[in-house]
A and B are shown apart, each in its own frame.
Chain A
């Protein structure tokens, strides 16, 4: 039968509350997202407002060059009778006090809050370079083995589980591991083994002694490498798996060996992704404090890693001697302990009495730290984009 047209709405809701629940759910989710965005912005804004004035200047050259190019130092604040505060370093303090004479009222010293943060910047950069280098090498090797060579089965599952577990280990545990493994027992070549050497193997011209590398960039870098290794392995493996199987089949069908196949038709196409994963690694490695606390970082150091005192060369030293010393100086960088940004921030925030001067140094460091990590990430993303454009399928 033909339905009789009526003016009733055939699609009217039944008012059972479905619509209200839909609206409520949507708003709950929306508010959750807004809270996340607002908090993120608040953190950024807070650090910008507090940190930017420390780093930037209103007059040329617009940046606080002292903050970026000097080592941390103790800040001396001298107050005169009028209540003016004069900031200076340890050398300037006496001269100013003498000049003020009777006008001098009080002097405050604030540790680590004067000078700049070049030491921590350099230290963090070195740690990141070593750790990302080591982790990329080990991680990519491991990922290639797991994805391209290993037979699927129990063993592979176990290795995967181990890697996953590694990712869940608290970073302070890595710190202790690094202390035991790299600082105290890693093998090194020496002429005479130290007393603390675990054991040593004489090789004739030198001795391989398991006496550790001491607290230095190398120890810290290797420790950090293990912190970021799970991230890099997992991400690299995913990138390798994302390369179409057809590339491998084709390459093998053309008579390529497995390694040639990996080298020429898998790795080039996985590289952009692997680089992206190493960005995450860089940010993580730069930000960790616990793993470097016992292995590489000092609260304070008045020298950059390459400013080591080496015996001065005689005036008639050969060019070879100069060259040798430069090489020694270069490798010496990695056997020095350093300051690092996250540890420096921790020291400023937790180890010294808090006041406006300490706070200024804190926020300046945090701001620089964030800018460095962000620009690193940005440049890696750009690099990846360019590689993507080149290798696309």
Chain B
């Protein structure tokens, strides 16, 4: 799906974090992070609360720019080979290509249709048939089309929690991003809805690259190809999921996975 394939036979990682330090004002939140996210893979970020998973995730689409005095103090973040802190990077374009789904499902209090079409409208799409087509495609991707096709103009707040979260996924993929960032997308959902979204994740990975923050180890095992374990702002271990869970290289990882964590 990218034009890079003509340049190299093996595509470069879609997201590459190099030696990155990150601070909220005076307090440092991330230390010397190195991370490579491959195309069409699901990468999970795990770690204890407050270790910096959300912060790292939000570095990838520069959502941290919204926090005053928060900044990358060392190193760089490359998306599709481009340093996203370069002066000629347009934030709206970056975020169009790096979508995000939040922990708390937060559909706009508008119709289902308008929710999904929001990103495209923002980027200037006015053609009704293009929008219709994108709404159908995105909802199908999010496994919602069959459920909702007859009430596209109903208020999105009338949906169940799980449906709302899948709607948020549909909304995020409507602009066809290369990378989809998800910050604990299932933490507010019941097991059935969680299962649905996990199933979705495999489908999504066929078209998009997914980075997901999760507190749930089993979820990381079920959905991800790679897992990164963070602790106190440092990336302790980054490996293929199976390897990390069955045969962790670091002691810290092992004790965290076993739950014997001090």
Binding site for B on A (CB under 8 A): 151-152, 244, 246-247, 249-257, 260, 264-265, 269, 391-393
Q: Is the interface of B mostly helix, strand, loop or mixed?
A: helix
Can you show 23 pairs from A to B with CB atoms below 8 A apart? A246-B104, A246-B106, A249-B66, A250-B106, A250-B108, A250-B168, A250-B171, A252-B63, A252-B66, A252-B95, A253-B63, A253-B100, A253-B102, A254-B95, A254-B122, A255-B93, A255-B122, A255-B175, A260-B122, A264-B121, A264-B122, A265-B108, A391-B109
In the complex, the answer to whether B99 meets A254 with C-beta atoms within 8 Å is: yes
In the complex, what distance in Å separates the CA atom of A393 from the CA atom of B104? 13
In the complex, the answer to whether A152 meets B118 with C-beta atoms within 8 Å is: no
**CB-CB contacts of B94-136 with A at 8 A, as 1s and 0s?**
1110011010101011000000001101110000000000000
Nearest CB on A from B22, distance (A): 18
In the complex, what distance in Å separates the CA atom of A251 from the CA atom of B104? 14
Interface centre among A252, A257, A269 (most CB of B within 10 A): A252
**CB-CB contacts of B134-171 with A at 8 A, as 1s and 0s?**
00000000000000000000010100000000001001
Residue B68 is within 8 A (CB to CB) of chain A in the complex: yes
User: A254-B118, A254-B119, A255-B123 are contacts. A392–B106 as well, Cβ < 8 Å?
Assistant: no
In the complex, what distance in Å separates the CA atom of A257 from the CA atom of B68? 17
Nearest CB on A from B114, distance (A): 9
User: A254-B171, A254-B172 are contacts. A244–B106 as well, Cβ < 8 Å?
Assistant: yes
Residue B216 is within 8 A (CB to CB) of chain A in the complex: no
In the complex, the answer to whether B63 meets A247 with C-beta atoms within 8 Å is: no
Question: Could you say which of B68, B94, B119, B171 contacts A151, with CB atoms under 8 Å apart?
Answer: B68
Nearest CB on A from B134, distance (A): 13
Nearest CB on B from A266, distance (A): 10
Q: What residue of chain A has the Cβ atom nearest to residue B168's Cβ?
A: A250
In the complex, the answer to whether A253 meets B99 with C-beta atoms within 8 Å is: yes
B contact residues around A252 at 8 Å (CB)? 63, 66, 95
Residue B92 is within 8 A (CB to CB) of chain A in the complex: yes
Q: What residue of chain B has the Cβ atom nearest to residue A246's Cβ?
A: B106
A contact residues around B68 at 8 Å (CB)? 151-152
A contact residues around B94 at 8 Å (CB)? 255
Interface centre among B66, B108, B175 (most CB of A within 10 A): B108
In the complex, the answer to whether A256 meets B109 with C-beta atoms within 8 Å is: no
B contact residues around A254 at 8 Å (CB)? 95-96, 99, 118-119, 122, 171-172, 175
Q: What residue of chain B has the Cβ atom nearest to residue A153's Cβ?
A: B68
A contact residues around B102 at 8 Å (CB)? 246, 249-250, 253
Q: What residue of chain A has the Cβ atom nearest to residue B118's Cβ?
A: A254
User: A255-B123, A255-B175 are contacts. A249–B63 as well, Cβ < 8 Å?
Assistant: yes
B contact residues around A264 at 8 Å (CB)? 118, 121-122
In the complex, what distance in Å separates the CA atom of A255 from the CA atom of B63? 10
A contact residues around B253 at 8 Å (CB)? none
User: A246-B106, A250-B106 are contacts. A393–B157 as well, Cβ < 8 Å?
Assistant: yes
Nearest CB on B from A253, distance (A): 4
A contact residues around B109 at 8 Å (CB)? 269, 391-393
Residue B209 is within 8 A (CB to CB) of chain A in the complex: no
Nearest CB on B from A346, distance (A): 46
Residue B61 is within 8 A (CB to CB) of chain A in the complex: yes
Question: Among residues 62 to 105 in chain B, which have CB atoms less than 8 Å away from a CB atom of chain A?
Answer: 63, 66, 68, 91-96, 99-100, 102, 104
User: A249-B63, A251-B118 are contacts. A257–B92 as well, Cβ < 8 Å?
Assistant: yes
B contact residues around A392 at 8 Å (CB)? 109, 155, 157
In the complex, the answer to whether B95 meets A253 with C-beta atoms within 8 Å is: yes
Nearest CB on A from B74, distance (A): 25
**CB-CB contacts of B48-69 with A at 8 A, as 1s and 0s?**
0000000000000101001010
B contact residues around A246 at 8 Å (CB)? 102, 104, 106
Q: What residue of chain A has the Cβ atom nearest to residue B100's Cβ?
A: A253
In the complex, the answer to whether B100 meets A256 with C-beta atoms within 8 Å is: no
Interface centre among A249, A253, A257, A264 (most CB of B within 10 A): A253
A contact residues around B119 at 8 Å (CB)? 254-255
Nearest CB on B from A255, distance (A): 4
In the complex, what distance in Å separates the CA atom of A91 from the CA atom of B106? 71
Q: What residue of chain B has the Cβ atom nearest to residue A257's Cβ?
A: B92
In the complex, what distance in Å separates the CA atom of A253 from the CA atom of B60? 11
In the complex, what distance in Å separates the CA atom of A237 from the CA atom of B99? 30
Interface centre among B100, B109, B171 (most CB of A within 10 A): B109
Question: Could you say which of B66, B92, B108 contacts A255, with CB atoms under 8 Å apart?
Answer: B92
In the complex, what distance in Å separates the CA atom of A251 from the CA atom of B119? 8
In the complex, what distance in Å separates the CA atom of A151 from the CA atom of B66? 11
Nearest CB on A from B182, distance (A): 11
